[in-house]
Chains A and B, each alone.
Chain A
Amino acid sequence: MNAVPSSTWFSASPEWGWLVVLYLFLGSLAGGCYFLAALIDLVGRAEDRPLARLGYYAAFTCLVIGGILLMFDLTRPERFWHLLLQSHTFRPMFKYWSPMSIGSWALVTFGAFAFISFLGVLAEDGLLSWRAARHMRPPGLLARVIAVIGGLLGLYVAGYTGVLLAVTNRPIWSDTPLLGMLFVVSAASMSAAFMILLARRSARTAPGIFALHRIDAWVLALELLVLIALVISLGPVARAWLNAWGLLLFFGVIVAGVLAPLALYWRRDWLGERNMTTAAALVLAGGFILRLVIVFSAEGVGV
């Protein structure tokens, strides 16, 4: 019971388990896909618009599923609205210093933007015959405003969860200020990979797919740096990863999820046609394992 590396060793586990891991994965994809789709809309080319539409479909779908998972992670799911309205007064419930409070509002607001864009792309793809919905797609001014705000909210949704984990007293989570940054960066790499896979499967092979592939390479390099910085920032607490979780983090995330896809990017002839999709699948799996390790590795730590 003596000499623990941090006072965080004495806190208790909130038992955020599989539902939360899945939410972290889907929430990151939702935010990241929307952000990338919005970027294509704002600065990309017209030929890439089918790719952007894929991003909006993915964002809305992931967000809805993730939101439902999050609701059922509450031990009183029927009271989920207490996060938004004070149950005694029905006034808005908002606490800017509580990441879960702002996060709840961000999810709802982002959800509205994701839904608007979802309607827009449905209309553009001819699946919804509602004329007004077409205005939610570029090149109009309204569409650009939606893309800017929604894209920023998407990044917020991708990253706030890392800050939420840090604003606790749990081992590992609250022993570094870099979890939020790691989640934002990893959300971008995962989402680019997800969009590459979706585009390949649905044969929407717009030229932007190569841009996504390049983005992945850059972001993965950044992710590697952030991961190294994170381990350094943990200091003696990093000892908590000298176990199976640490191995999973090293081989599952750093080797398979970051280094292998980077190698596939630099050596394009290794797998030929399948190079890009293999890299993307690895990035996606690495992003999932990263969230899994972060959430569960704090469980076994403590006195």
Chain B
Amino acid sequence: MAEPMGFYTDTTVCIGCKACEVACKEWNQLPATNGGVNTLSGDSYDNTRRLDGIHWRHVKFIEQFPEDRKDGRWLLMSDVCKHCVQAACLEVCPTNAIIRTEFDTVVIQSDVCNGCRACIAACPFGVIDINPVSNTAQKCTLCYDRLQSGMEPACSKACPTDSIQFGTIRELRERAGARVQQLQNAGEKRAHLYGADEKMLGGLNSFYLLVDKPEVYGLPPDPKMPTRNLVPGSLFSILGALLVGLIGIVNFRRRGAGEVKEARP
């Protein structure tokens, strides 16, 4: 296996230009929403709205302004699949359509997926959705085809401020750690990394530098694996089955006067 590759997104230098969204759509030949007819969301400058089957990059615009607008800031963040080391989608996929590549990234094979949508419900980040052209679940592939040819992903290549950086996870973590230090020293005490170590789902191969709580960016503070419920859920179900079985056996076996009385009300 090649060394694990991924994205480090420094949200503090994102300018909201959406070049990443456009580059992603161009390279991956993803169609426009609503046949290209412009629809406005009314939510800041964000008309992409969310990640789905035809949006594999989504620049979020978070406006933080008080009522009097004397002070304030924009939080901008280019969201994407996190390519989790412990990937919920891959874990639950019942057809093995979702695979881990030699770059430690997570890819959905469109020719295998049958659209059961288990992965959509499993992803803690709400990344995956059905692509209306293929009718299969789709998401960012971290440009698997480009990686195989030794190229970098389209979005990071297009990013004009290096908010999105591509590289080996080891190198990206070093770079991100230094940047957090730099911001802290400059007085931005809220700067921290999201998903840059093994504590979160074994590590996110697409991790973030944030300057507010994750939930402000629409990121779960404590994402977990879906199989956490498998054993307790199964044990309680077995308990239910045992109780139901017991009730059934006792009542079908009980015979005699009781029924005769009931039969003649």
A-side interface residues toward B, CB under 8 Å?
A: 1-4, 7-16, 35-36, 39-40, 43-45, 48, 73-77, 79-80, 82-83, 86-88, 93, 95, 97-101, 104, 155, 159-160, 162-164, 166-170, 173-174, 177-185, 188, 207-208, 210-211, 213-215, 218-219, 222, 226, 268-269, 272, 302-303
A159 to B237, CA, bound (A): 6
Chain A binding surface, main DSSP class = helix
A179 to B236, CA, bound (A): 9
On whether the beta carbons of B95 and A76 are closer than 8 Å, the reply is no
B-side interface residues toward A, CB under 8 Å?
A: 50, 52, 62, 88, 91-97, 111-118, 120-130, 135-136, 213, 215-216, 218-224, 226-227, 229-230, 232-237, 239-241, 243-245, 247-249, 251-255, 258-259, 262-263, 265
Q: Contacts of A104 on B, CB cut-off 8 Å?
A: 94
Q: Contacts of B122 on A, CB cut-off 8 Å?
A: 11, 167-169
Q: Contacts of A87 on B, CB cut-off 8 Å?
A: 95, 111-112
A214 to B258, CA, bound (A): 11
On whether the beta carbons of B259 and A210 are closer than 8 Å, the reply is yes
A86 to B94, CA, bound (A): 10
On whether the beta carbons of B92 and A188 are closer than 8 Å, the reply is no
A109 to B5, CA, bound (A): 42
On whether the beta carbons of A74 and B114 are closer than 8 Å, the reply is yes
On whether the beta carbons of B252 and A44 are closer than 8 Å, the reply is yes
Q: Which residue of B lies closest to A94 (CB)?
A: B94
On whether the beta carbons of B259 and A7 are closer than 8 Å, the reply is no
- Looking at the assembled complex, report how far the CB atom of B111 sits from the nearest CB atom of chain A, in whole angstroms: 7
On whether the beta carbons of B244 and A188 are closer than 8 Å, the reply is yes
On whether the beta carbons of B248 and A215 are closer than 8 Å, the reply is yes
On whether the beta carbons of B123 and A167 are closer than 8 Å, the reply is no
Partner pick for A13 among B120, B219, B227, B247, CB 8 A cutoff: B120
Sample 21 A-B pairs with CB under 8 A, ordered by A number.
Answer: A2-B213, A2-B215, A7-B124, A10-B124, A11-B124, A12-B52, A14-B118, A39-B248, A40-B252, A44-B253, A74-B116, A82-B97, A87-B111, A99-B230, A100-B116, A155-B245, A169-B123, A173-B121, A181-B239, A211-B251, A213-B262
